[in-house]
Chain A
Amino acid sequence: MIDFPILSLILFIPILGILLMVLIRNTSERTERNLKQTAIWITSLNFLVSLLLIIFFDYENPSFQFEEKYFWINNGISYHLGIDGISVLFIVLTTMLVPICILASYDSIKLSIKEYLISFLALETFMIGVFCSLDLVLFYLFFEGGLIPMFLIIGIWGGERRVYSTFKFFLYTLAGSVFMLLAIIYIYWNSGTTDVQYLLNYQFSKNEQIILWLAFFASFVVKIPMWPFHTWLPDAHVEAPTAGSVILAGVLLKMAGYGFIRFSLGFFPDASEMFMPMIFTLSIIAIIVTSLIALVQEDMKKLIAYSSVAHMGFVTLGIFTFTIQGIEGGIIQMISHGIVSAALFLCVGVVYDRLHTREISRYGGLVNKMPFYAFTFMIFILASLGLPGTSGFVGEFLVLLSVFTVNTYFALFATTGVVLAATYSLWLYRKVIFGALVKDDLVDMLDLTRREIIIFVPLIFLTFFLGIYPKPVIDIIEPSTKLVVENFNERLQK
C-alpha cells in the first residue's frame, strides 16, 4: 500500500490535460496534431499510472484500498474514494480504452478536434470516478456527468440521425437516474450519510429495500441495458462515431453492472433476492430475443449493439445468482465484453472510414484485399461468440455454470444464446469478409494501417490472455467477490 493519493491523481490527470489543451489555440494543421498528441500522451500517462493500482494492489485485502476521504459538503457527504477487487479492473479498462479511442479518431474526426478531445478527457474522468467513488452523491455526480460529454460526442460528431439518437440516449438514461437520485436523497435523510462503506453495513427495512432497489434498478436497467429498456442502445451506437461506440460499449454499459454488484446486492440483499426471478426472466428474454434480432440486422453496428444487449444479459444473470462463480463470471464477462465489443466497433470503424457505410450488404470478400483485417476481425468474432481460449468464454461459462446450480430452467434457455451467438456472428463475418470481391468500390480497399495495427494488438493480446490464463484477473476479483457474497448471505433477513 502506498499513501500517495493515487486515485485522485488518476481522476485529475485528464482534467489537467483539458487545461493544457484549452491553452493551445489556433487551428492550423500543426496545432491539431499537437492537440491529438497531447491527448494521447495524457491518456497514456493515465493508463500507466492506473497500472500502479494493480502493482500495489493488496490481493489479500478484500475490502477497500487506496482510500481517500476529504470533507466535501458536510459530514455525511464527503469526497470519498477507494477501490476493491471488483472496481480496480474497470478503472484499468477505462484508462486503457481511452487512448485507443483517441488513436482511433486520429483521422476520422475532422470537425473541431479540440472540443472532441476535451470531451473524451472529461468523459474519462467521469468514468473513472464512477468506479472509485465511495460516496453515493459523488457516484451520482460522475454517473450522470458522463452523460454530458457522451451527449456531445454523439450529438456533434455522430451520423445522420444523431440528434434523435442523442436525445433518446440522454433523456432515457437521465429519466432512469432521477429515481436513483431520489433514492439517494432518501438514504441520506434516513441514515444521515451517503458513505458507501457505512451503508454496506446499514440495515434497511424490507419495504424500504424494495422501493430503493427499484429506484436504483430504474437507473441501471436503462444503462446496462436490459430488455425492454434497450432500444436507445442500437440507435446511439449507430449514430455515434467509432470511438464513441467503443466507450459506450466498453465502459458505459459496465457502470450499471458495477452498480448492481456494489449497490443493489450490497445495500438491498433482501430486495435483490426477491427480484431475482424478474432479473432472470428479463435477462433470458434479452439473450434470446436480442440474439434473434441481431440475426436479421442489415447494419453492422446495430448487429453488434444488439449482441451487446445479449452479452449483458449474461452479466445480469451471473450477478443475480449471488454465487462467487456467477459474480466473477459477470465481472469477467463485462471486462471481456469491454475489450471484445470495443474491438468489434473498432473493426467496423476501420471499414467505415474507408467506405462510409455500415450496411452489411455493401461489403463482401474483404479478405481478398485486407488479410490482416480479416484475421483481426475473426479473432474478435470468435471471442464474441464465446470460443474457449478467448476471453468471451470464461465469463460466459462461469455465469452459465452458476445459473445451472441455481435454476436449470434458466440455464437451459440461457445456453441456447450460445448457439444463436455463433449464428449471427459468423453470418456477419461471412457477409463482410468472405466471398469473392465483386463490388467495384471495394477494389481499392487498403489493409490495416500501422496506426490501426497498434490499436488492435493490445486488444488481441488481452483477448487471448484472459481466455487462456485468466487466473491473475480472477485472483484480483476473488477476495472482494467472496466478501460481497458473504455479506449478502449474512445480511439476508430470513
Chain B
Amino acid sequence: MAQSIVLLPLIGFIISCVISFFRPHKNLDLFSQVITCSFVIISAIFSFYIFLSNLSDPSTLSIKIFTWISSGDFTASWSIYLDSVTRVMLVVITSVSALVHVYSIGYMSHDDSKPRFMGYLSLFTFAMLMLVTADNFLQLFFGWEGVGLASYLLIGFWYKKPAANSAAIKAFVVNRVGDFGLALGIFAIYVMFGSIDYQTVFEQAEQMKDKDIFFIGYEIHALTLICCLLFVGAMGKSAQLFLHTWLPDAMEGPTPVSALIHAATMVTAGVFLVVRCSPIFDLSPIALDLVVLVGASTAFFAATIGLVQNDIKRIIAYSTCSQLGYMFVAAGLGAYGIAMFHLFTHAFFKALLFLGAGSVIHSVHEEQDIRKMGGISKFIPLTHLMMIIGTISLMGFPFTSGYYSKDAIIETAYLSDSSYAGYAYYLLTVGVFMTSFYSWRLIFMVFNGKTRMAEEDIKKVHESSSVMIIPLIFLSVGALSFGYLFKSYFMGSYSDVFWDHSIAHHHGDHHDIPLIIYYMPAIVGIFGLITAWYMYLKNTKLPNNIAQVNKPLYQFLLNKWYFDELYNLIFVKPAMAFGRFAWKLIDGYIIDGFGPNGIASTISRLSIRARQMQSGLIYHYAFAILIGLSFLITFFIFTN
C-alpha cells in the first residue's frame, strides 16, 4: 500500500507525459485527466487509511526498495519510511494534491496542453512523496530537488510569458542556493556519523553532542553546524527571509499550482525537514535559536509586505511566507508537534484560499489586480463563502482549524524560556493583526463595496463550474474542522502516543497562562478585521491618505523591502560582469594573448626575422662568415 501511494502519481505522470506528445484531442485530454486524478485520489484514500489506522498505533515501517548509490562505505537506498511525521505529510500531500488535480480539470479547461499540466502535477506529487518517505538524507535530497524541478516546470507552464520563464528560473536557482546548504549539511552528517540513514544518525545524535568539527578553518560544534546548514536548505524551500524572493514571483504559474506547491506542500518541506531532524536540532540550542529568529522575522516581514500588495495571489503568497515563519518559530521552540499541526491545518485553509482566488480569477477573466475588482459577491456567492471560511481560519477565528494551531504557537512563544521567545511572541502577535488585516482587505476589495470593473466585464462574471467548487467544499471542511478533530493527537493528551519516537519531545512544565494572553490572538485578529472593514468599506479614502502621508514607508513595502533590487545589485550583476571580464579579458586577452596566440605570433615574428637573414646575397654570407671567424679567433686567443 505504501508503495502504491508513492508510485501511482509517477505512473500518472508517465502516462500523461506520453499523451502530451500527441496532438491535442478531447478524448486524450479526458483520459489523462481521469488517469492522473483517479491515481492521486487512490493515493489519498490509502494515505488517509494509513493515517487514521495508525492514530493510536505509532508503528514505524521501513521498506528498502533497492540500493541507489553505494561507494566505499557510503550507501543510500531508495526506500519508504513511514512514521507519524511521514503519515501526516502523506495525508496533507495526497489529499490537497487530489483536490487540486480535480480542480485543475475545471481551471485549465481552456488550455491546450492539459495532459502536460496534469502530468506535471503528478510529477510534483511523486517527488514530494519521495521527499517525505525517505529513510535517508539522499533520497530526501532527491525529492527536494525533484519538487524544485516540478515547481520550475509548473511556474513556467505558460512558457510564452517571459515573466513566467524568469520566475521559474528564479525559483529554481534560489532553491538551489538553499540546496547548496542542504548538500553541505548532508556531507557534514556523513563525516560525523559515517552514514546518512535517519535511524543511524538519530540514534547516535546523543553521542555526538559534544563533538566538534573543523569547518573552513574553524572548530565548530558539529551538530550546530549540521543543523544550520540543513536549515539553509529549509529556508530556501520554505521561502524564509533572504531566500524568500522566489515565492511571490512563483505566482506567475497557474493558480492550482500555487495552491498545491506554493502553499500547501512544497514550501512546507523546510518545516518538515526541521521536524524530521528534531533529534539533532534538539541538541543544538544555537541552531534552534536561529530557527526561531528567522521564522519570527519572516512572519513579521512577509506580513508587512502583504499589507500593501494589490495582486490577489501575491497577497496570499506573502501570507504563506508569513505562516511558514510561524511554523518555524514553533519548531525552533522545540514544539515540533505544534509546528506539524500548523503545517497540517495551514495546508487546508491556504489551499482553500488559493483555489478560491483561482475561482475569482477565473470568473473575472484572468484579472489579478484587486483594485480592478470589487462588489462581485452577488455573482459568485459560493466562492465568496469559501474565501471567507479560508480567511477566518487563517486569522485564527475561534474554533476554526487555524485557531487551534496558531494560538498554540503563540502560547508556546509566550511560555518558552528560549532566548528569542520574547522577540518571537511580540512579532507573531503583531503578525496576527496584520494577517487578519490583509486577508480581510483582500476579501472586502474583491467581493464588497462598489465595483471598479468595467460595465461589460461585470456582466460576464460567473460562478465557476462545480468541478472547481467541490474541491473547495472539501477543503473548507478541513479548514473548519481538522483543527478541532486532530488537536489532541498533534499536541494534546494523545500526542505522546501519536508521535512516539518520530519527533523529539519536550516535557516542559505546563504553566497556566493568563486569560488575556490566551484570548489575545483572537482579539487582535478581530481588531484587524475591524480595521480592514473601516478602511476599505467604511472610509475608503483613508488607505490612500495613509499611503500619501507615509510615502517612503509605503513604497518600501510595496517594493517588497527592495530585496530583488538589492540581490540584483550584489549578486546578479557582479556575476555577469565577472563572467564577461573572465571571458574577454582573462581568457581572451591574458591567457590566449600570452599563451597560444602570443607564442604563435612571436614565433612567426621570429621566423620572419630568420627568413630575412637568408637574403641569398653572397656578400651577406661572406660578411657573416667573417664576423663568426673573428669571434672564434678572439675566443681562442683569450681562453688560451
Residues B184 and A412 in contact, CB atoms below 8 Å apart: yes
CA distance in complex: A405, B194 (Å): 11
Contact A397:B169 (CB < 8 A) given known A231-B587, A404-B184, A404-B191: no
A293 within 8 A of B: yes
Question: Of A24-32, A177-185, A274-282, A429-437, which stretch is located at the interface?
Answer: A429-437
Question: Of A205-213, A254-262, A263-271, A470-478, which stretch is located at the interface?
Answer: A470-478
Interface 1/0 per residue, A414-440 and B, CB below 8 Å = 011011101100110010011110000
CA distance in complex: A170, B192 (Å): 47
Across the A-B interface, give the 10 residue pairs with the lowest CB-CB distance, nearest first.
Answer: A324-B72, A404-B187, A292-B579, A388-B142, A296-B579, A434-B159, A436-B160, A293-B583, A295-B579, A422-B176
B295 within 8 A of A: no
Contact A430:B191 (CB < 8 A) given known A292-B579, A295-B576: no
Question: Of B95-103, B334-342, B518-526, B590-598, which stretch is located at the interface?
Answer: B590-598
Residues A411 and B187 in contact, CB atoms below 8 Å apart: yes
User: Which residues of A (284-319) have their CB < 8 Å from a CB of B?
Assistant: 289, 292-297
Residues B187 and A400 in contact, CB atoms below 8 Å apart: yes
B34 within 8 A of A: no
In the complex, chain A residues whose CB is within 8 Å of the CB of B168: 426, 430
B615 within 8 A of A: no
Chain B residues bordering chain A, tally (CB within 8 A): 56
CA distance in complex: A416, B181 (Å): 10
Of A292, A394, A412, chain B has the most CB atoms within 10 Å of the CB of A292
In the complex, chain A residues whose CB is within 8 Å of the CB of B145: 387-388
In the complex, chain A residues whose CB is within 8 Å of the CB of B325: none
In the complex, chain B residues whose CB is within 8 Å of the CB of A415: 180, 183-184
Residues A409 and B596 in contact, CB atoms below 8 Å apart: no
Residues A418 and B156 in contact, CB atoms below 8 Å apart: no
CA distance in complex: A372, B215 (Å): 46
CA distance in complex: A171, B599 (Å): 11
In the complex, chain B residues whose CB is within 8 Å of the CB of A231: 587, 591-592, 595-596
B177 within 8 A of A: yes
In the complex, chain B residues whose CB is within 8 Å of the CB of A433: 159
Of chain B, the residue at the smallest CB distance from A228 is B591
In the complex, chain B residues whose CB is within 8 Å of the CB of A408: 214-216
In the complex, chain B residues whose CB is within 8 Å of the CB of A232: 596
A367 within 8 A of B: yes
Question: Of B61-69, B493-501, B555-563, which stretch is located at the interface?
Answer: B61-69
Q: Which of B72, B184, B217 contacts A323 (CB 8 A)?
A: B72
User: From residue B148, how far is it (CB to closest CB) to chain A in Å?
Assistant: 9
Q: Which of B20, B68, B69, B582 contacts A293 (CB 8 A)?
A: B582
Residues B146 and A388 in contact, CB atoms below 8 Å apart: yes
A468 within 8 A of B: yes
Chain B interface residues (CB < 8 Å from chain A): 20-21, 66-72, 74, 78, 138, 141-142, 145-146, 149, 152, 156, 159-160, 162, 165, 168-169, 172-173, 176-177, 179-180, 183-184, 186-188, 190-191, 214-217, 575-576, 578-580, 582-583, 586-587, 591-592, 595-596, 600
A204 within 8 A of B: no
Q: Which of B71, B156, B186 contacts A478 (CB 8 A)?
A: B71
User: Which residues of A (126-152) have their CB < 8 Å from a CB of B?
Assistant: none
In the complex, chain A residues whose CB is within 8 Å of the CB of B215: 408
CA distance in complex: A404, B217 (Å): 13
Contact A419:B156 (CB < 8 A) given known A324-B71, A401-B190, A405-B191: no
A82 within 8 A of B: no
Contact A388:B141 (CB < 8 A) given known A231-B591, A422-B172: yes
Residues A416 and B576 in contact, CB atoms below 8 Å apart: no
User: From residue B408, how far is it (CB to closest CB) to chain A in Å?
Assistant: 35
A99 within 8 A of B: no
In the complex, chain A residues whose CB is within 8 Å of the CB of B190: 401, 404-405
Residues B159 and A474 in contact, CB atoms below 8 Å apart: no
A329 within 8 A of B: yes
Q: Which of A292, A365, A397, A423 contacts B160 (CB 8 A)?
A: A365
User: From residue B154, how far is it (CB to closest CB) to chain A in Å?
Assistant: 13
Interface 1/0 per residue, A363-375 and B, CB below 8 Å = 0010100011001
Known: A231-B596, A435-B162, A474-B70. 9 other contacts (CB 8 A): A168-B596, A292-B575, A295-B575, A297-B583, A329-B71, A388-B141, A418-B179, A435-B160, A436-B160
In the complex, chain A residues whose CB is within 8 Å of the CB of B21: 371-372, 375
Of chain B, the residue at the smallest CB distance from A306 is B583
A389 within 8 A of B: yes
Q: Mostly helix, strand, loop or mixed at chain B's interface?
A: helix
Q: 19 A–B contact pairs at CB < 8 A?
A: A229-B595, A293-B579, A294-B579, A323-B72, A328-B72, A371-B21, A388-B146, A397-B183, A401-B187, A411-B184, A415-B180, A415-B184, A418-B180, A419-B180, A422-B172, A422-B176, A426-B172, A430-B165, A474-B71
In the complex, chain B residues whose CB is within 8 Å of the CB of A409: 216-217
In the complex, chain A residues whose CB is within 8 Å of the CB of B172: 422, 426
Q: Which of A371, A400, A436 contacts B183 (CB 8 A)?
A: A400
Residues B587 and A293 in contact, CB atoms below 8 Å apart: yes
In the complex, chain B residues whose CB is within 8 Å of the CB of A168: 596
A202 within 8 A of B: no
User: From residue B210, how far is it (CB to closest CB) to chain A in Å?
Assistant: 20
Residues A389 and B142 in contact, CB atoms below 8 Å apart: yes
User: From residue A481, how far is it (CB to closest CB) to chain B in Å?
Assistant: 8
Of chain A, the residue at the smallest CB distance from B191 is A405
User: From residue A43, how far is it (CB to closest CB) to chain B in Å?
Assistant: 30
A382 within 8 A of B: yes
User: From residue A277, how far is it (CB to closest CB) to chain B in Å?
Assistant: 15
Q: Which of B66, B67, B165, B180 contacts A434 (CB 8 A)?
A: B165
CA distance in complex: A420, B578 (Å): 13
User: From residue A373, how far is it (CB to closest CB) to chain B in Å?
Assistant: 11
Contact A426:B173 (CB < 8 A) given known A325-B71, A418-B183, A435-B160: yes
CA distance in complex: A426, B165 (Å): 10
A188 within 8 A of B: no
Of chain A, the residue at the smallest CB distance from B577 is A296
User: From residue B137, how far is it (CB to closest CB) to chain A in Å?
Assistant: 11
User: From residue A364, how far is it (CB to closest CB) to chain B in Å?
Assistant: 10
A198 within 8 A of B: no
CA distance in complex: A293, B584 (Å): 9
User: From residue B188, how far is it (CB to closest CB) to chain A in Å?
Assistant: 7
Of B138, B186, B587, chain A has the most CB atoms within 10 Å of the CB of B587
Of chain B, the residue at the smallest CB distance from A294 is B579
Contact A325:B579 (CB < 8 A) given known A401-B187, A471-B67: no
Of chain B, the residue at the smallest CB distance from A477 is B71
A465 within 8 A of B: no
In the complex, chain B residues whose CB is within 8 Å of the CB of A416: 180
Residues B68 and A398 in contact, CB atoms below 8 Å apart: no
CA distance in complex: A324, B73 (Å): 9
Residues A470 and B69 in contact, CB atoms below 8 Å apart: yes
User: Which residues of A (330-381) have their CB < 8 Å from a CB of B?
Assistant: 365, 367, 371-372, 375
User: From residue B303, how far is it (CB to closest CB) to chain A in Å?
Assistant: 29
CA distance in complex: A167, B156 (Å): 43
In the complex, chain A residues whose CB is within 8 Å of the CB of B595: 228-229, 231
Of chain B, the residue at the smallest CB distance from A374 is B159
A57 within 8 A of B: no
CA distance in complex: A422, B172 (Å): 8
Residues B217 and A325 in contact, CB atoms below 8 Å apart: no
Of B21, B176, B188, B578, chain A has the most CB atoms within 10 Å of the CB of B176
Residues A419 and B176 in contact, CB atoms below 8 Å apart: yes
Residues B66 and A292 in contact, CB atoms below 8 Å apart: no
In the complex, chain B residues whose CB is within 8 Å of the CB of A474: 69-71
Q: Which of A296, A387, A389, A471 contacts B70 (CB 8 A)?
A: A471
Of chain B, the residue at the smallest CB distance from A389 is B142
A456 within 8 A of B: no
In the complex, chain B residues whose CB is within 8 Å of the CB of A482: 72
Of chain A, the residue at the smallest CB distance from B166 is A430
User: From residue A335, how far is it (CB to closest CB) to chain B in Å?
Assistant: 14
Of chain A, the residue at the smallest CB distance from B580 is A296
In the complex, chain B residues whose CB is within 8 Å of the CB of A297: 583
In the complex, chain B residues whose CB is within 8 Å of the CB of A461: none
